[in-house]
Structure 1
Amino acid sequence: MDSRYRYPALYFVFFAAFSGFAAFRNVLLEEMGMSGVEMGIVGMVMIIAGVVVQPLWGFVADYTRSPARVLVVAATVSALALLSYPLGASLSGDAFLLITAGTALFAVGRAPIVPLSNALVLREGFDYGYARSFGSTSFGIAVLAIGFLLAYTTTLLVVYLYIAGMVVFVALALTIPDDEESILEGGLGTQALGLLARRQFQVVLVAAFLLGFVSRSGDAFFSVYMRAVGLGDGYTGAAWAAKTVAETVVFLAVGRTALSYGSLVSVGGLGFAAGYAGLAVFPTLGSVLLANVGLGVGLALLFFALVNLAHDCAPDGLHSTAQTLLTSVGVGAGGALGHIAAGWLVDAVGVQSMFAYLAAASVILALVGIAVHAVADSRAPTAA
């Protein structure tokens, strides 16, 4: 396959496959009888497992210069691990431990897929925003369709669709050549420690941590929120679609703006704050759709800025490691804490009020954009 289509196709297939599981995982767990705390623990385990193994996947990809082969192994592991969900649903007793273990293994496999895809795209000089927009498009289309299909079929559909999608993903990854041009000066471990010691990269990780905290926790409980306010699964898909349409538009347009990366982080944080405040205060269909547009804009701006900044901070030959550190130490660690905090808040104050707290955290993320601009901005996004 021509490389102009191969990399966008990777995002398209993965996000289409993952969309249903991301949007309706907690609905599936709720149907299995789990409490908000148990759902939060499962989400935390999923994130922590990714945090632990992502840098290892990145090291292996940089050491072997074969990130595509790593993607093949990772996608296969993640697909097989999700078979624990239909098995758990078939049990007459408590499936919490089985689902938690299966989710952990799933997370180990899924962890490197997006960061290594990011590294491959930027390594080849492709426009990250353009390639990533295909993922947002497919996510929106798929989650909209799945939301309506769940009215007529089992929620386990999201598991089977992910497994089928990974078969296609593996076939695409097998067509990607190895990296034979990058030259890493010095030992891999030494260079990775040096990257972590750079103040610029540390500021990027702080912003990524807060992004993970506010985005992953909100995503995990959004379907629960929609049922709680009486809107249901069909409108859940519509809301996710509105969010991903906004992501797509921003990913396609942001590379043409003159805003600095730090400014993009600040505007993105405000997008999250506005979106979550809308969910907390106005639980009507129109307001929910509008709130998700704000969340989509924020997500696209933040990921565009942080992925490009991580690439800029990394020495040649360490780009896979940089992207996995961004998504593990940064987004992943923040998401793990966010899952636990959100699960506790759901039980303590209710899922609707939880979003007010996430709005406040998003304002802090917007303020961190000032530090990103002062310390880590190496160039405007139009130069990426």
Structure 2
Amino acid sequence: MLSDERRYQLLYLVLYAAANGISGYRNVFFEDIGLSEAQMGVIGAVLVGAGILVQPIWGVLADAYGRTKLAMAVGALVSIVGGLLFPLGLIVESPFLLMLLAAVIYSAFRSPIIPLANSMVMGSGINFGNVRAFGSVAFGVGILAMGPLVDAFGTATIFVVYAVGMVIFVVSLRELPKPPATDLTPEFRADSLRLVTDRRFVLLLLVAVLIGAATTTGGAFFSVYIRAIDAGDSMTGAAWFVRTLAEAAVFVGAARLGWRHRSQLLLGTVILALSFVLYVTPGTLPAVFLAQVPQGAGFAFFTLASVSLAHEYAPEALSASAQAALAAIGLGTGRVAGQVVGGWIATVVGVEGMYVYVVLAAGIAGLLSLGFFVSPSSDRSVTVG
């Protein structure tokens, strides 16, 4: 019999292993079917925008009825349908509209899964970092293996791998404990209003918007950037592997540092900004690989801090809703803006010049993070959950 912690670790292992190819090689696939950088940005924005619209709804339903596991299973299965529409772009003469339809279906059902899973882990009292680290390792190992698969069988392979992985994910959900339901009482509605007017939560959302823009734009165009500096597609997977190993190390080790969440948030945003500088100066393959360690560490610190702060600021009855708001209103809004603006900038100044703006977005997020040190906060150490 596996403990609940081991079951969650297995869940994150499968979840992140399934999606690594789409995250890392999506735009290379779009390039192969003849889409421009601007069109890639629009599709990327749709992928995030569809999630923004539905994530709060999924979160409220999960909190209200305690059907988090069912919501995740339905989301996984329907997202497979959307994912398998993408390869049809290889046989359609003008695939852009079909890619938009596939993006809507895929994202509307895929996007709620991670925030719902995060809320279940935080609500269980299990150390989030120890669980999330399995996702990072799975993502890194999977994307490293994906490079040779893409080289051998083509970029459409990423969607087949996703379909297989999500079937395994649904099976893995069965033995997890069922979260309790919450009545939609006046207290529930009052708690909702209190959450969205909490200035600490609003500040967290603003920081998340900028980090969402920086990391999503940087990650989505990374495979195109690797080609732009005359490196092979396999280098994309190798770089992601280095990055996710650094993520996993921080997810596991951060609790031992005993730092407050606000300190982690500031550190994560600053490290991310500095790591992207290496994409611009000197912008060589060795520098890019060197950047993966601080980039992975910075992303892990930001993720730990943002998920923990959202859980801390939310009333107990709104755990899933707070995580959905962080993912949709915060990170999601930033991702939409980053995809659209990033695609346009890459078209105008090139994908290498685009990273200057990624540095600026992450740097501004770092400045905003200082706001958590000048306002009253009940911020707790990372050792709590």
**Same-fold status (TM-score > 0.5):** yes
Q: Which residue of structure 1 lines up, in the alignment, with residue 118 of structure 2? A: 118
In the alignment, the residues of structure 1 paired with residue 79 and residue 193 of structure 2 have an alpha-carbon distance, to the nearest angstrom, of 29
Q: Secondary structure at the match of 1:80?
A: helix
Q: Which residue of structure 2 lines up, in the alignment, with residue 162 of structure 1? A: 162
Percentage of matched positions with identical amino acids = 35
Q: Tell me if the contact between 1:139 and 1:241 (Cα under 8 Å) persists in the aligned partners.
A: yes
The one-letter amino acid of 1:304's match is L
Q: Which residue of structure 2 lines up, in the alignment, with residue 106 of structure 1? A: 106
In the alignment, the residues of structure 1 paired with residue 132 and residue 373 of structure 2 have an alpha-carbon distance, to the nearest angstrom, of 23
In the alignment, the residues of structure 2 paired with residue 155 and residue 101 of structure 1 have an alpha-carbon distance, to the nearest angstrom, of 19
In the alignment, the residues of structure 1 paired with residue 88 and residue 151 of structure 2 have an alpha-carbon distance, to the nearest angstrom, of 22
Q: Tell me if the contact between 2:45 and 2:339 (Cα under 8 Å) persists in the aligned partners.
A: yes
Q: Which residue of structure 1 lines up, in the alignment, with residue 313 of structure 2? A: 313
Q: After superposition, where does 1:110-259 map in structure 2 within 5 Å?
A: 110-180=110-180, 186=186, 188-259=188-259
In the alignment, the residues of structure 2 paired with residue 181 and residue 84 of structure 1 have an alpha-carbon distance, to the nearest angstrom, of 35
Q: Tell me if the contact between 2:18 and 2:162 (Cα under 8 Å) persists in the aligned partners.
A: yes
In the alignment, the residues of structure 2 paired with residue 143 and residue 67 of structure 1 have an alpha-carbon distance, to the nearest angstrom, of 28
TM-score, normalized by length of structure 1?
0.96
Q: Which residue of structure 2 lines up, in the alignment, with residue 8 of structure 1? A: 9
Gaps of 5+ in 1: none
Q: Which residue of structure 2 lines up, in the alignment, with residue 55 of structure 1? A: 56
Q: Which residue of structure 2 lines up, in the alignment, with residue 22 of structure 1? A: 23
The yes-or-no answer on 1:352 pairing with 2:329 is: no
Cα drift, residue 373 of structure 1: 3.1
In the alignment, the residues of structure 1 paired with residue 326 and residue 201 of structure 2 have an alpha-carbon distance, to the nearest angstrom, of 9
In the alignment, the residues of structure 2 paired with residue 243 and residue 299 of structure 1 have an alpha-carbon distance, to the nearest angstrom, of 9
Q: Deviations over 1:12-54 (max 9, x none)?
A: 1011000010000000001110001100000001111001100
In the alignment, the residues of structure 2 paired with residue 207 and residue 115 of structure 1 have an alpha-carbon distance, to the nearest angstrom, of 17
Cα drift, residue 182 of structure 1: 6.2
The yes-or-no answer on 1:266 pairing with 2:280 is: no
Q: Tell me if the contact between 1:264 and 1:301 (Cα under 8 Å) persists in the aligned partners.
A: yes
Q: Tell me if the contact between 2:64 and 2:184 (Cα under 8 Å) persists in the aligned partners.
A: no
In the alignment, the residues of structure 2 paired with residue 125 and residue 185 of structure 1 have an alpha-carbon distance, to the nearest angstrom, of 25
Cα drift, residue 181 of structure 1: 7.4
The one-letter amino acid of 1:58's match is G
Number of residue equivalences = 383
Cα drift, residue 2 of structure 1: 3.1
In the alignment, the residues of structure 2 paired with residue 187 and residue 83 of structure 1 have an alpha-carbon distance, to the nearest angstrom, of 43
Q: Deviations over 1:228-281 (max 9, x none)?
A: 101121111110001100000000111121322222122111211111110111
In the alignment, the residues of structure 2 paired with residue 190 and residue 224 of structure 1 have an alpha-carbon distance, to the nearest angstrom, of 47
Moved more, 333-342 or 187-196: 187-196
The verdict on how the C-alpha distance between 1:225 and 1:377 changes in structure 2, with shifts beyond 3 A counting, is farther
Q: Which residue of structure 1 lines up, in the alignment, with residue 35 of structure 2? A: 34
Q: Tell me if the contact between 1:11 and 1:135 (Cα under 8 Å) persists in the aligned partners.
A: yes
Q: Tell me if the contact between 2:140 and 2:244 (Cα under 8 Å) persists in the aligned partners.
A: yes
In the alignment, the residues of structure 2 paired with residue 28 and residue 63 of structure 1 have an alpha-carbon distance, to the nearest angstrom, of 39
In the alignment, the residues of structure 1 paired with residue 31 and residue 132 of structure 2 have an alpha-carbon distance, to the nearest angstrom, of 31
Q: Secondary structure at the match of 2:383?
A: helix
Q: Deviations over 1:327-358 (max 9, x none)?
A: 00000011100111110110111111111111
In the alignment, the residues of structure 2 paired with residue 373 and residue 135 of structure 1 have an alpha-carbon distance, to the nearest angstrom, of 30
The one-letter amino acid of 2:25's match is F
Q: Which residue of structure 2 lines up, in the alignment, with residue 75 of structure 1? A: 76
Q: Tell me if the contact between 1:262 and 1:377 (Cα under 8 Å) persists in the aligned partners.
A: no
Gaps of 5+ in 2: none
Cα drift, residue 377 of structure 1: 5.1
TM-score, normalized by length of structure 2?
0.96
Moved more, 68-77 or 256-265: 256-265
Cα drift, residue 200 of structure 1: 1.6
In the alignment, the residues of structure 2 paired with residue 371 and residue 287 of structure 1 have an alpha-carbon distance, to the nearest angstrom, of 32
Q: Secondary structure at the match of 2:152?
A: coil
Cα drift, residue 189 of structure 1: 4.0
Cα drift, residue 149 of structure 1: 2.0
In the alignment, the residues of structure 1 paired with residue 81 and residue 174 of structure 2 have an alpha-carbon distance, to the nearest angstrom, of 18
The yes-or-no answer on 1:327 pairing with 2:327 is: yes
In the alignment, the residues of structure 2 paired with residue 377 and residue 342 of structure 1 have an alpha-carbon distance, to the nearest angstrom, of 36
In the alignment, the residues of structure 2 paired with residue 268 and residue 281 of structure 1 have an alpha-carbon distance, to the nearest angstrom, of 21
The verdict on how the C-alpha distance between 1:141 and 1:293 changes in structure 2, with shifts beyond 3 A counting, is same
The one-letter amino acid of 2:44's match is G
In the alignment, the residues of structure 2 paired with residue 48 and residue 238 of structure 1 have an alpha-carbon distance, to the nearest angstrom, of 29
Q: Secondary structure at the match of 1:336?
A: helix
In the alignment, the residues of structure 2 paired with residue 151 and residue 87 of structure 1 have an alpha-carbon distance, to the nearest angstrom, of 19
Q: Tell me if the contact between 1:144 and 1:234 (Cα under 8 Å) persists in the aligned partners.
A: yes
Cα drift, residue 89 of structure 1: 1.6
Q: Tell me if the contact between 1:18 and 1:162 (Cα under 8 Å) persists in the aligned partners.
A: yes
Q: Secondary structure at the match of 1:318?
A: helix
Q: Which residue of structure 1 lines up, in the alignment, with residue 46 of structure 2? A: 45
Q: Tell me if the contact between 1:55 and 1:321 (Cα under 8 Å) persists in the aligned partners.
A: yes
The one-letter amino acid of 1:64's match is Y
